[in-house]
Structure 1
Amino acid sequence: MIEFEENLLASLIKFPKLYDDLQVTPNMISDESIKATLQFFREKGFADVASLYQVSGASNQQVIDKKTIGSMRNDKFIFESHFKQYQIDVINAYKQRMIISAAQDYIEKPTVESQNFLQQTITQLNEIDIDDEDTKTDVLLQIMDTITSDAKSGILTGFKSLDGLTDGFDASQFNIIGARPSIGKTAFAIAMGLQMAQKNTVHFVSLETKDVKVTTRILSNLSNVPLKKFKNGGMMTSDEIELVTKWIGYYQNLDFHVHDKNNITPAKLRSIIAKHPDKTNIIFLDYIQLMKSDDKSKDRRLELEQISRELKIVAKETNSVIIALAQLSRGVEQRQDKRPIMSDLKEASGLEQDADIIMMLYRDDYYTKQTDPDNPGKSEIECIIAKNKDGETGTVKMDFYKASQRFYG
């Protein structure tokens, strides 16, 4: 192993919290086992030493071995305060290797192309450096760009009434959609995601429902063919089949992805996001009370609070929007006014604290069983913005057509 690369990895193993300050990327490392270990941490989203120890020695892993992990963890000459210098040493060595390689190519084949490649390599390498912690100037320039631009900076949901109140979502937000079972929160999330996927990468992570059922809901929404007709063959007319087929082609090309693994953790969510770096990632999580933590706890309430904090960190570090669906407690049913409030979030007082925006869904006909005589398939649904850290709160009303999973508002 090369000493400064070894020092860098040892500092992460000895002081895992330093991973938040890591700016060296795996491709800058020359030692294959250290490179593989940094890539392993990158996929996890943090310096997961416990998991590293478990996979060390596996035939499909090239990470450092258990003996090396132990020696690095106990190395008395690795200091937390030297972490920045370790990174500088690795980056300087990487620059030197790349310049030597590009120069060697030019010497062996002195063409205009190889000369341009050498110059380009030098320019790119000069731009690599450890970031200065003082970002005040960049932040002020970003604010000036926002306030002088005519375009809205928020990520719009496609619902004019909701966007009018919230100005859309912002990258790095952790948001909540809360409702009692069968109110329509999954349909609401799907409808929102389909509109947001036109300009962003959307992931619908279903911990409750298989991908086939989620996809039939999607196709029902897109085609406006009633959901019940997807459940049994022979219920659709030939025109409806033709319509669904057309929308299947549209959905195939839409940047909307369904994940139905029931063992999703915040770290696995980070890995999903890492595979789609080109656009802003929008994550819908259905629903958060079914999610597992990377670190199990005997107290489910504490585990859920930890999940909430981790999701907020993932949203911030990946510059994504995470929208978690949440079940509400039965306490709603005991009140005369059954409109939900933030304290109704089931098992999850931490959600109330961590979320940037909390939306609560309420349908009067859910409790009264009364329908519109002129349009029995339509329900009026209230989207209550109970919390909005950077904007207004209030209520917007939408029309919900349960048969086809569509929302208008």
Structure 2
Amino acid sequence: MAEKKLTKPYSLETEKAALGSMFLDQEAAIQGCGLLKEEDFYSPTNKILFMATASTVGEHGIADLSLIWRRLEQEGKAEQVPFSQLSEIAMTVGTSINLPRYAEELRQLSYYRRCIDNGRKMMEAACKQDENGISEALGNLREDGVGGDEPRTAAEVMAEYLQDLSEQRKNGKLFSRLQTGFINLDLLTGGLRADDLYIIAGRPAMGKTALALDISRGCAKSLFTEGKTVVFFSLEMNKRDIVARLYCGETGSDNVMFSIRENDDTRWAEFLRTFEKNGDFFEHMAKNIIVDDSNYITPENMRAKCHAIRIGGKEVGLIVVDYLQLMSTGRGDNRTQELSHISRSLKLLAKDFHCPVIALSQLSRQVESRADKRPMLSDLRESGSIEQDADAVMFVYREDYYFPDIDPEKKGIAEIIMGKNRKGPVDIFKLAWLPKATTFRNLTNDTKNWKPVNQKSPWEEGQK
């Protein structure tokens, strides 16, 4: 039996009805231009007619037939849409009241056609074993807005928001979002918010990766009971170094023990005993962190890998990228355009997987030329639209990095400067820096009016 050829879904009758409705009155013409796009029409003739109508409405405010015909003549397209056909469409409907329904049907049919096109692209890419092509087609499907939530009134959103907050307060939740384990960071942000992009920026060796790993550990514990995982993309360090950092950060161990330079057998034996003691404790947390150290990765690769994790039965609860300037798009754009595309893609990644995304970023050398070397937003290297796309930007600054002879009381103290916080205040808070373990810790004397509560995750309670 011959395979039945699939045809793309469309409705010429609905297309004519929508155009006819726009010809009836000024309000319908303006409404139609707002509701519809060229791609929503399947017929080439109707596409041309809609674009001429939209141009006429934009210039004159009305969809007058004689003006539309003049536009077609000016564009050399009058032969493709005879005036008799234009008149026929104008007489197709007697009222414009059904225009929203026509527009909704055309948008839905257009969405189905795009699904077919992207499905074919995905199939062709799969046959060619083109991973980027598969990721791009999959990304196009995910970013298509037609299958998503319908627009809602502000009153409806507020009612649902207040109900969620009330339930969280009843359950004793101090934060409604993902907790990082750093008290003041959680107070400033309310916890990491799903759909948001966070930037951690700083000069080399300032502690960006250490802070990102510390946050990853804290979030992994918060996500434990939800069956979600942290995905850490490391473009700079290999998997073994990342895991060693995670262990030292969790236990406070000296990271030199993971180096063959350590030749003290006594210390090595003590390290192994400590590791055995902390093994189960560390494993529970580490199982909730997936590390990818691919040398070359694009936003599309990243999306595909996160999607594969989801297909494998594990929801993604946090994505971390170390670091932004090592990513590429493979498009051949100039660097500013490339960084802009990457930052925008990471923001879309957060929305697609409904989780926070943390991206690390280098700073330009202009920081070094100032007397006060505390970074600011303008220091974002090759920034493109990083600052614009980010919901929050925090800088890591350690004074003893630049001034090793400072007051001993200031040594081992890091300032986390919240340079941008779209959903909260900007502020500076301090953390303790433990260089031997390459990790940060909360400072007990810098808690910004923190009121401690007995709130531990079930995973932490199980370690007693």
Q: What is the TM-score with the length of structure 1 in the denominator?
A: 0.68
Rounded Cα–Cα distance in structure 2 between residues aligned with 1:272 and 1:281: 14
Select which of 199, 205, 220 maps to 1:182.
205
Letter in 1 for 2:428: T
Matched, 1:227 2:255: yes
Matches within 5 A, 1:188-199: 188-199=211-222
Rounded Cα–Cα distance in structure 2 between residues aligned with 1:59 and 1:287: 27
Where does residue 275 of structure 1 map in the other structure?
308
Q: Flag the 1:287–1:155 CA change in 2: closer, same or farther, 3 A.
A: same
Where does residue 307 of structure 1 map in the other structure?
342
Greater Rg over alpha carbons, structure = 2
Select which of 327, 345, 359 maps to 1:291.
327
Q: Secondary structure in 2 aligned to 1:225? A: coil
Select which of 248, 256, 273 maps to 1:242.
273
Q: Flag the 1:219–1:343 CA change in 2: closer, same or farther, 3 A.
A: same
1:248 is displaced (CA, Å) by 4.2
Where does residue 326 of structure 1 map in the other structure?
361
Rounded Cα–Cα distance in structure 2 between residues aligned with 1:4 and 1:144: 47
Matched, 1:140 2:163: no
Select which of 207, 210, 213 maps to 2:235.
207
Q: Flag the 1:380–1:265 CA change in 2: closer, same or farther, 3 A.
A: same
Matched, 1:156 2:191: no
Q: Flag the 1:341–1:373 CA change in 2: closer, same or farther, 3 A.
A: closer
Where does residue 80 of structure 1 map in the other structure?
none
Select which of 404, 421, 427 maps to 1:388.
421
Q: Flag the 1:242–1:295 CA change in 2: closer, same or farther, 3 A.
A: same
Matched, 1:401 2:434: yes
Rounded Cα–Cα distance in structure 1 between residues aligned with 2:158 and 2:409: 54
Of stretches 198-207 and 352-361 in structure 1, the one that deviates more from structure 2 is 198-207
1:340 is displaced (CA, Å) by 0.1
Matches within 5 A, 1:1-400: 6-7=8-9, 38=119, 49=121, 53=124, 55=125, 57-58=127-128, 133-136=150-153, 139-148=157-166, 149-150=168-169, 151=173, 152-200=175-223, 201-232=229-260, 234-235=263-264, 236-253=267-284, 254-277=287-310, 278-293=314-329, 295-297=331-333, 299-370=334-405, 373=408, 379-400=412-433
Rounded Cα–Cα distance in structure 1 between residues aligned with 2:426 and 2:336: 27
1:170 is displaced (CA, Å) by 0.4
Q: Flag the 1:213–1:372 CA change in 2: closer, same or farther, 3 A.
A: farther
Q: Flag the 1:234–1:202 CA change in 2: closer, same or farther, 3 A.
A: same
Q: Flag the 1:165–1:272 CA change in 2: closer, same or farther, 3 A.
A: same
1:362 is displaced (CA, Å) by 0.6
Letter in 1 for 2:319: I
CA contact under 8 A between 1:273 and 1:281: conserved in structure 2? no
Identify unmatched segments of 5+ residues in structure 1. Answer: 27-33, 41-48, 65-82, 88-129
Rounded Cα–Cα distance in structure 1 between residues aligned with 2:350 and 2:211: 21
1:2 is displaced (CA, Å) by 5.8
Letter in 2 for 1:145: Q
1:139 is displaced (CA, Å) by 2.7
Rounded Cα–Cα distance in structure 2 between residues aligned with 1:245 and 1:301: 48
Rounded Cα–Cα distance in structure 2 between residues aligned with 1:270 and 1:396: 33
Q: What is the TM-score with the length of structure 2 in the denominator?
A: 0.61
Letter in 1 for 2:158: L
Deviation per residue, 1:332-388 (Å, 9 max, x gap): 01111100000100001411111000000110000011367579xx61000000000
Rounded Cα–Cα distance in structure 1 between residues aligned with 2:308 and 2:157: 27
Letter in 1 for 2:338: E
CA contact under 8 A between 1:174 and 1:354: conserved in structure 2? yes
Where does residue 73 of structure 1 map in the other structure?
none
Letter in 2 for 1:146: D
1:167 is displaced (CA, Å) by 1.2
CA contact under 8 A between 2:391 and 2:422: conserved in structure 1? yes
Q: Secondary structure in 2 aligned to 1:197? A: helix
Rounded Cα–Cα distance in structure 2 between residues aligned with 1:265 and 1:251: 31
Q: Secondary structure in 2 aligned to 1:133? A: coil
Q: Secondary structure in 1 aligned to 2:250? A: helix
1:156 is displaced (CA, Å) by 1.3
Rounded Cα–Cα distance in structure 1 between residues aligned with 2:437 and 2:7: 57
Deviation per residue, 1:200-255 (Å, 9 max, x gap): 31111111111111111111112222111210164434232122234444443430
Q: Flag the 1:6–1:396 CA change in 2: closer, same or farther, 3 A.
A: same
1:57 is displaced (CA, Å) by 4.1
Letter in 2 for 1:160: I
1:141 is displaced (CA, Å) by 4.0
CA RMSD of aligned residues (A): 3.6
Q: Flag the 1:257–1:56 CA change in 2: closer, same or farther, 3 A.
A: closer
Percent of aligned pairs sharing the same letter: 30
Q: Flag the 1:23–1:357 CA change in 2: closer, same or farther, 3 A.
A: farther
1:5 is displaced (CA, Å) by 7.0
1:408 is displaced (CA, Å) by 1.3
Rounded Cα–Cα distance in structure 2 between residues aligned with 1:60 and 1:383: 42
Identify unmatched segments of 5+ residues in structure 2. Answer: 11-38, 43-106, 135-143, 224-228, 443-464
CA contact under 8 A between 1:308 and 1:350: conserved in structure 2? yes
Rounded Cα–Cα distance in structure 2 between residues aligned with 1:58 and 1:369: 56
Rounded Cα–Cα distance in structure 2 between residues aligned with 1:183 and 1:387: 19
Rounded Cα–Cα distance in structure 2 between residues aligned with 1:131 and 1:155: 24
Q: Secondary structure in 2 aligned to 1:275? A: helix
Letter in 1 for 2:441: Y
CA contact under 8 A between 2:397 and 2:415: conserved in structure 1? yes
Rounded Cα–Cα distance in structure 2 between residues aligned with 1:59 and 1:187: 36
Q: Flag the 1:264–1:246 CA change in 2: closer, same or farther, 3 A.
A: farther
